[in-house]
Amino acid sequence: MIQYIARRIAYTVPIMLGVALLCFMLVHLSPGDPLVSILPPDASVDLQRQLMQLYGFDRSYPEQFAAWVWRALQGDLGTSIASGRPVALEVFNAVGNTLILACVATLIGFFFGCLFGFVAGYYRNSFIDRAASFLSVVGVSVPHYWLGMVLVIIFSTQLMWLPPTGAGPGGSSDWAFDWAHVRHLILPAVTMSVIPMGIIARTVRALVAETLSQEFVVGLRARGLSDAGVFRHVVKNCAPTALAVMGLQLGYLLGGSILIETVFSWPGTGFLLNTAIFQRDLPLLQGTILVLALFFVALNLLVDILQSLFDPRIERA
């Protein structure tokens, strides 16, 4: 087991380096001058040259990439062009808010997705199966941002039950586990949970239907095992794949929440990315993308390890 974990960790090193290179290339190959947002219209050539030297834009791309990776390994992601604050400080403050939102949304999606999937799998080809499959397709197909705006109109504007934007009272970005902050979390978390809920439900439904048709289930029932005992064996066989899907969905929510966080003005990495894109803030943009990509790689590694714990056949393979 230890050798398997060490081997998986060693595989992630070149992946992380490739992610850093791809992130750097995509950001720097996009059109536009990153210094336009802070330079006055009548800026002199000397001032432009000084700022380019300050941010290292006067060096070649390989030199910029090597310097950026070396600083990133030391925890320094550079300085934001727009705000002048350290990128690491802004990113990690936003990552905490995004992690809270993504984890809650993933848990909601995983719970209800597994519930709908198991029910549909056990009662396949019935009305319950068709209804659960229909809800799953609707959940996958509905645009996030549209659903968020609809929920804001219903629960914030008309019913006035929940706040429409922000992470806390008065537009606070500091999270606390109290009802005042949880109220701000409900709408964006429910909105984000719809797509993973549909994906997990369809995956679990297929897994349960396939497992119930296998010969060992027939043998268990022939030996007089109760429905609860059969259910435990079905869950054990479906758990590795369901965990893998959940881990992937959590990674997608961490990096793909830009529209949801913009709709709800949630101070997370998606909102930060949106700001960095429009301000052409290269250090903030590439620092945020790098951290999110590394989170995704780390989640895949964690899911691989958890899968091997649930299913020892993966480690042997």
Residue 201 clears pLDDT 80, i.e. is over it: yes
Query: How confident is the model at residue 66, as a pLDDT?
Result: 85
> What is the per-residue pLDDT for 280?
76
Q: Which residue from 237, 243, 244 is spatially nearest to 210, judged by alpha carbons?
A: 237
Question: For residues 131 and 159, what is the distance between their CA atoms, to the nearest angstrom?
Answer: 28
Single pTM value for the model: 0.74
**Residue 147 and residue 242 in one domain:** yes
- What does the angle CA 261 – CA 265 – CA 266 come to, to the nearest 5 degrees? 55
Model confidence at 205: pLDDT above 70: yes
Residues 138, 259, single domain; the answer is: yes
Q: Tell me the HSE value of 281 on the side-chain side, using a 13 A CA sphere.
A: 27
Asked if residue 224 and residue 120 are part of one domain, the reply reads yes
Kindly report, residue by residue over 214-253, the tens digit of the pLDDT: 777 777 777 776 767 777 777 777 777 777 787 777 777 7
Q: Flag whether 299 is in a domain.
A: no
Please give the tally of structural domains in the chain. 2
Backbone angles phi, psi at 43, to 5 degrees: -65, 140
* DSSP assignment of 142-192: S-HHHHHHHHIIIIIIIS--S-SS-SSGGG-----SSHHHHHHHHHHHHHH
In a domain, 301, yes or no: no
Per the domain annotation, does 260 fall within a domain? yes
Cα–Cα distance measured from residue 265 to residue 258, given in angstroms and rounded to the nearest whole number: 10
Q: Are residues 65 and 205 in the same domain?
A: no
**In a shared domain, residues 103 and 232:** yes
With a CB cutoff of 8 Å and minimum separation 6, the contacts of 26 are 289
Q: Same structural domain for residues 16 and 107?
A: no
92 to 71, 89, 258, 272: CA distances (angstroms): 16, 5, 16, 11
Could you tell me if residue 261 is inside a domain? yes
Does residue 129 register a pLDDT over 70? yes
d(CA 66, CA 251): 27
Q: Which has the closest alpha carbon to 259: 169, 313, 194?
A: 194
The two structure tokens encoding residue 256: 């793909």
The pLDDT tens digits of the residues spanning 243-279 come to: 778 777 777 777 667 778 888 888 888 888 888 877 7
Residue 71, C-beta contacts closer than 8 angstroms, at least 6 positions apart = 77, 78
Q: Let me know whether 135 and 67 are in one domain.
A: no
With respect to residue 271, please indicate whether it lies within any of the assigned structural domains: yes
In a domain, 296, yes or no: no
Last residue of a domain, one of 73, 108, 136: 73
Residue 306 lies in a domain: no
Q: Do 30 and 112 have their domain in common?
A: no
Residue 311 CA, chain-centre distance (Å), reads 25
- Say which residue, 214 or 188, is predicted with more confidence: 188
pLDDT at 172: 63
Q: Which of 56-60, 120-124, 243-247 shows the highest mean pLDDT?
A: 120-124
Q: Assess whether 194 and 135 both reside in one domain.
A: yes
159 and 67 fall within a common domain: no
Given pLDDT bands bounded at 50, 70 and 90, which one contains residue 307?
A: low
Distance CA 245, CA 125 (A): 24
Whether residues 117 and 55 fall in one domain: no
The whole-chain average pLDDT of the chain stands at: 79
> Of the segments 14-28, 141-155, 289-303, which one has the largest average pLDDT value?
141-155
> Are residue 146 and residue 264 in the same domain, yes or no?
yes
Please report, for the domain that includes residue 240, its CATH number: 1.10.3720.10
Q: What is the pLDDT of residues 138-160, one digit of tens each?
A: 888 888 888 888 998 999 888 88
Query: Is residue 41 scored above 80 in pLDDT?
Result: no
Domain membership of residue 43 as a residue range: 2-73
With respect to residue 161, please indicate whether it lies within any of the assigned structural domains. yes
Q: What are phi and psi of 86, to 5 degrees?
A: -60, 135
Q: Assess whether pLDDT exceeds 70 at residue 107.
A: yes
